[in-house]
Structure 1
Amino acid sequence: DSIIQAEDPSGREYYWIGGGVTHWEGGPESDFRAVEEGFVSVTPLHLDLTSYPQLDEVRGWRLAL
């Protein structure tokens, strides 16, 4: 494993965390096989950082607009 400290073009410091060379393995219907055979692999992701308990509390606030 390695940690590399670097600086982006704006001068901000960042760290690149890596583990060396990765060995990919996959079955006949895996993403690895699809990419190896020249196909594009698409994985739909959804990231929801909403704090639903906090949202419920905010809904109860009385705001003067």
Structure 2
Amino acid sequence: MLYRLGRAAMEEGKYGEAIQKLIEVLKLYDATLMRPYRSYYDCVQDLRRCMLALGNYSIV
């Protein structure tokens, strides 16, 4: 569910919000997933896309 919220925020251009949600998902995955990590990999790639979209900007 969190992943879908992060993905939806990313598609709406709300990259800061998407990054927060995707990081929450990755923390959950770190605690619970076992190999193979397809869901983890998909989440990391979406997080990467958000960071690329933000470029060199810093959100504080």
TM-score of the pair, normalised by structure 2: 0.22
Structure showing greater radius of gyration is 1
TM-score of the pair, normalised by structure 1: 0.21
Higher strand share: 1
Higher helix share: 2
**Greater relative CO (CA pairs within 8 A, separation 6+):** 2
